Amino acid sequence: MHSFRIVNVFAREGRLTGNPLCVFEDGTGLDDAVMQALARQFNLSETTFILPSTKATARVRIFTPAYEMPFAGHPTLGTAHVVRALRRAGSLAPPNGDTGDKVTLEMKAGVIPVAAAGDRWTLSANPAKTRAPDVTRADIAAALSLEEADLASDPVWVSTGTEQLMVPVRSPAAVERARPDSTRFLGLGSVEPVKAYVFHDEGDASRRVKARFFFPTATGVSEDPATGSACANLGGWFAATRPGADVEREVSQGEAVQRPSTLLLTVRGGSIRVGGSVIELGRGTIDL
């Protein structure tokens, strides 16, 4: 029997908000094919598996229904929430007897520090890497069913662990109008599956961002309700476009898929932090 928990990450108000995640409490003994099959079985945007680590509180593997990811934000926060609960219950041995609110998670992208204040978790992202797209602004706009004039500035690829195309637009209405054209969208990149974050920044006065995130699936292009890795990459975008500036933003995402979500972004001294609330919704077991 393999125990799992369902949590909602970046929840706003109410238990059925945010981005759902399945976390397997102990992935020991499960091979890659079984992990991938379980992720496909649950068919959530990601499913994670907790494993022993020699360099962090726990090692974590992250699977979408189609492939494994080196890093993702909402799986990081949701898995940290479960790791803390397992440590407090004594089923996951804490280092030095510590069962507190700080954990480190070993992922393929590196060791990610995560800390909590109650049930609000915050991760510290890796430094961002950026590169220019190989396609034109017009190509990117067309792939999202937008006009080139809707773009507020040049899109850029950003990675703090997983690479995504950051697409700043001029208005909340442009965010709402975005509709990926599958063929054009999937042709925007060649290195790995194309993922795009369309956002409007209201500026320092309101400190609010409206965003949507699109990613490929087996049947086309889908939309994610809350994307922590993209929020971290948004921090990388701010660091690249406003070097040295401290930035705080509250990111609204998920309304278009009826899963309203709130993500909190801080860029300070070059460090990028992403936070949000985590709610445990239920538990169960799988018999393989």
Q: Give Cβ neighbours of residue 227 (< 8 Å, ≥ 6 apart).
A: 19, 72, 73, 74, 197, 211, 213, 253, 263
Contact 160, 71 (CB under 8 A): yes
C-alpha–C-alpha distance, residues 71 and 163, integer Å: 10
Three-state DSSP at 39 gives helix
C-alpha–C-alpha distance, residues 149 and 52, integer Å: 50
228-241 helix and 73-89 helix, angle to the nearest 10 degrees: 120
Active site residue 250: no
HSE on the CB side for 190, CA within 13 Å? 3
> Looking at 13, 25, 46, 202, which residue is catalytic?
46
The residues annotated with a catalytic role in the active site are 46
